[in-house]
Amino acid sequence: MRKIICLMLLGLISVEGWAGEQTWCVFDPLGAKGDISRRLQDVRLTALQNRVDLKFQFFKNEKDAIQAFDQKKCSGLAASNFNTYRYNHFIGSTGGIGLISNNRVARMFLQLLNNVHVEKRMIGQDYEAIGMIPIGTAYMIMNTQQINKVSQLKNKRIGILEDNPPQQALVQSVAAKAAYVDFSDAVDLFKQKKIDILAAPAYGVLPYNIKKEFGESTQVVNFPVAYFAISIVIRPKDYPAGFGHQIRNWFVKNNNVLAAQAIQWENHLPAYYWADISNFEKQGYEAMVAKIRNRYVDLGYYDAYFVELIKRLRCIDDPQYLECRK
């Protein structure tokens, strides 16, 4: 059926208006059969309507996808919001600590992608951010004894990304030890007990038998660390005028489906893996995270407009959040 639809769409597009093929480098740990890749096939249908025939080159290692994009082997890149930060600070800030707190807030953000004030911040001279696939909240996964106090993080080895100063500052603030990882080796290092705590979305661990492969004591702390998403950036000069806007419209129209998928992944993680911490500890941690985050807003690392926007959305979702109280 999908092939038939594609052929029908191609028949409606004149040869004169055809913009040709464009390739996106796509990071998906599960390859061409992964959920991220399947979602991009839906985006491809909208691209066809806008005179672009998208081809995808899949990478299980994110560094390889980014390298290929930088070498201009692809005109588009679908990779983590943490690492697309270098191309667009606005969309990269979606992975900021203490910002997008859950899939509901992520969904509200998706609804605004074609807002004029948001859209202009996604368009740069060399790169343009055109969409975001929610993967879910990153939680602390522990293979050490249960931790229910921030003070118990002292001297624990926490896996963080090397080029992420706010994550480094957060680890230092709880007197833990930073262990640098990337998405290609993080889970293996965790399984080998070379790190004690791994921040990851449920999507990242669902393929594993957690108790068997990570250890019987493994638990997931039910408290958000950051938000993980796949961001899409392109070189706009390679595409027809208005292409980015049309793709962002697709994400706006499909915000519910995209967020629902992320929620479904989190719901698939069995209840006995989750560990709760007290409201008192949550409030103390939130205050610490907000302080560090605001420091990096002042330094220009996080996009200030994005931070204020997410604060407003978060207050709609959770009026009791500390920055929402008056």
* pLDDT at residue 146, rounded to an integer: 67
Q: How confident is the model at residue 243 (pLDDT cuts 50, 70, 90)?
A: very high
The one-letter code for the residue type at 276 is D
Q: How confident is the model at residue 14 (pLDDT cuts 50, 70, 90)?
A: very low
Question: Which residues lie closer than 8 Å to 309 by C-beta, 6 or more apart?
Answer: 109, 112, 118
113 and 36 within one domain: yes
pLDDT tens per residue, range 82-117: 999 999 999 999 999 999 999 999 999 999 999 999
CA distance 232 to 244: 10
* pLDDT at residue 218, rounded to an integer: 86
Read off the pLDDT of each residue in 60-89 and give the average, rounded to a whole number: 96
DSSP H stretches of helix in the chain: 2-12, 35-49, 62-70, 89-92, 103-110, 116-119, 165-173, 186-191, 202-205, 210-214, 243-253, 255-267, 279-298, 304-317
The residue among 167, 168, 102, 140 whose CA lies nearest residue 310 is 102
Q: For tokens 């941690």, what's the residue?
A: 285
The one-letter code for the residue type at 326 is K
* pLDDT at residue 19, rounded to an integer: 57
* pLDDT at residue 222, rounded to an integer: 84
322 within some domain: no
CATH assignment of the domain containing 196: 3.40.190.10
Question: In which element (H, E) is residue 35 found?
Answer: helix 35-49
99 and 178 within one domain: no
Burial class (CB in 10 A: 0-12, 13-18, 19+), 278: exposed
CATH assignment of the domain containing 243: 3.40.190.170
* pLDDT at residue 41, rounded to an integer: 93
187 and 51 within one domain: no
258 and 124 within one domain: yes
325 within some domain: no
The sign of the dihedral angle between the CA atoms of 163, 128, 290, 296 is positive
* pLDDT at residue 7, rounded to an integer: 45
Read off the pLDDT of each residue in 124-137 and give the average, rounded to a whole number: 96
Of the candidate ranges 11-20, 44-53, 261-270, the one whose mean pLDDT is the lowest: 11-20
202 and 291 within one domain: yes
Tell me the residue ranges of DSSP E strands in 28-167. 53-59, 76-80, 128-142, 157-161
179 within some domain: yes
232 and 124 within one domain: yes
Higher model confidence: residue 129 or residue 200? Answer: 129
233 and 171 within one domain: no
pLDDT tens per residue, range 302-321: 999 999 999 999 999 999 89
Contact assessment for residue 159 and residue 199, using Cβ atoms and an 8 Å cutoff: yes
Question: Which residues lie closer than 8 Å to 294 by C-beta, 6 or more apart?
Answer: none
CA trace torsion 246, 235, 89, 94 (10° rounding):
50
Gyration radius from the chain CA atoms: 20
CA distance 260 to 269: 15
- What six digits make up the tokens of 13? 């597009």
112 and 197 within one domain: no
pLDDT higher than 70, residue 301: yes
Tell me the pLDDT of the chain averaged across its residues. Answer: 89
Residues of the domain holding 12: 2-135+228-267
Read off the pLDDT of each residue in 258-265 and give the average, rounded to a whole number: 93
232 and 156 within one domain: no
pLDDT higher than 80, residue 10: no
The residue among 195, 241, 233 whose CA lies nearest residue 214 is 195
174 and 48 within one domain: no
Backbone angles phi, psi at 127, to 5 degrees: -135, 150
Give the number of domains in the chain.
Answer: 2
Question: In which element (H, E) is residue 221 found?
Answer: strand 219-234
* pLDDT at residue 229, rounded to an integer: 96
Three-class DSSP category at 123:
strand
pLDDT higher than 80, residue 212: yes
158 and 105 within one domain: no
286 and 209 within one domain: yes
